[in-house]
Amino acid sequence: HEISIVSAVVLKKVINTDLTFIFCDEKRRFYLIPSEKMNSKTFSGGAYQKEKELFLRQKAFYHKSLWSEKNLDLDCVINLIHGRDGEDGKIASLLEFFDIKFIGPRVEASVLSFNKEFTKLYAQSVGVKTLDYQMLRKSQKQDFTAHFPCILKPARLGSSIGISIAKNEKELDYAKDVGFEFDTDILVEDFKSNIKEYNLAG
């Protein structure tokens, strides 16, 4: 959530137009945040919960008062939520379901790109070379032969969270424990050093 807030603050500085800020907290509740309160203090101490809570209906976010309900006047929504919910297609699905216009990847693109295994399969299907990999499933006991050093990545997570490099069996066991803290599936590849890496980011 922290990096999502940073993205919103940066957008506020660079876009010279009226913006409405909607915050989605860890309980998946939406709040209307006044522009002047878009700062770290509002979120770090939970002060945002004093703001108007928002709800969804067809074509609109709305808030309730004692006697009425009022729709927000929005041209479209820009999805700035990083990680789960924002990048995995959940928010896109929600906005599509309620017919709210938004800027961001559609559901299918989000689902494919957020899951490292799905991304591998799609890349291979269109002729893009990828490293060989194995999948570990928390729900399954399976034979697994590691080639050290190897790198373990939670299948559905971003920002390098939960990623570990293992150089031996002891480090491998620890890396699996770390990975399964974040996801039920882990993608394992041989670790490659001295390579040029490209980062595509917004």
Q: What's the pLDDT tens digit per position in 152-192? A: 999 999 878 999 999 999 999 999 999 999 999 999 999 99
Mean pLDDT across 111-117: 96
pLDDT > 60? residue 9: yes
Q: In angstroms, what CA-CA distances link 77 with 109, 170, 196, 199?
A: 18, 47, 36, 26
Written as six digits, the tokens of 107 are 């559901």
Question: In CATH, which of 3.40.50.20, 3.30.1330.10, 3.90.260.10, 3.30.70.100 is domain 2-112?
Answer: 3.40.50.20
Q: How far apart are CA 144 and CA 168, in angstroms?
A: 14
- The two beta strands, 52-57 and 60-64, are antiparallel
Q: How far apart are CA 154 and CA 124, in angstroms?
A: 20
Mean pLDDT across 61-85: 95
Q: Can you give the residue ranges of every domain in the chain? A: 2-112, 130-190
Q: In angstroms, what CA-CA distances link 74 with 21, 69, 83, 103?
A: 10, 16, 24, 12
CB atoms within 10 A of CB 198: 4
pTM over 0.75: yes
Q: Are the folds of 2-112 and 130-190 the same?
A: no
Q: How far apart are CA 87 and CA 166, in angstroms?
A: 28
Q: Quick one: pLDDT at residue 36?
A: 93
Mean pLDDT across 112-132: 96
Decide yes or no: CATH 3.40.50.20 for domain 130-190.
Answer: no
3-state SS, residue 161? coil
Q: What is the mean pLDDT of the chain?
A: 94
Q: Could you tell me the sign of the dihedral formed by the alpha carbons of 45, 50, 51, 55, in that order?
A: positive
More confidently predicted of 16 and 96: 96
- The percent of residues above 90 in pLDDT, for the chain, comes to 80
Contact 1, 86 (CB under 8 A): no
